[in-house]
């Protein structure tokens, strides 16, 4: 199942995005997340991405994450978090 996140990945959006992701994972579908159009990202957004990556590794769920946008990469670099998409 595909999930496109556009514009903002901030504290104001993460709860709704998290619920969508949980629904996809609970349905047993493969997860594809498109993050290339995210223009604003904060630490809550990075925390959600880290949580998603840990969860899918633990559950061995196939995941495809399209390239992280510049906003995501910049925030991750500032807070010294390494994100690796599978």
Q: What is the pLDDT of residues 3-15, one digit of tens each?
A: 999 999 999 999 9
Strand partners, 64: 32
The answer to whether residue 86 sits within a structural domain is no
Average pLDDT over residues 62-79: 92
In the sheet with 31-41, reading across from the earlier edge strand, the strands are: 2-9, 31-41, 63-65
84 in a domain, yes or no?
no
For 61: left if phi > 0, alpha if psi spans -120 to 50, otherwise beta; the answer is beta
Where residue 44 sits, what CATH number does that domain have? 3.30.750.24
Within a domain: residue 27?
yes
Query: What's the domain range around 60?
Result: 2-78
Overall domain count for the chain? 1
Residue 51 lies in a domain: yes
Residue 85 domain-assigned (yes or no): no
Q: What is the pLDDT of residues 37-70, one digit of tens each?
A: 999 999 999 999 999 988 888 888 888 988 899 9
Does residue 84 surpass a pLDDT of 80? no
């Amino acid at each position: 199942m595909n999930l496109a996140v556009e514009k903002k990945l901030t504290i104001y959006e993460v709860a709704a995005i998290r619920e969508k992701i949980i629904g996809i994972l609970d349905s047993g579908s493969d997860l594809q997340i498109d993050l290339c159009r995210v223009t604003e990202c904060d630490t809550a957004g990075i925390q959600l991405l880290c949580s998603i990556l840990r969860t899918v590794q633990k559950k061995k769920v196939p995941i495809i994450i399209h390239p992280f946008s510049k906003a995501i990469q910049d925030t991750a670099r500032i807070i010294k978090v390494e994100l690796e998409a599978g």
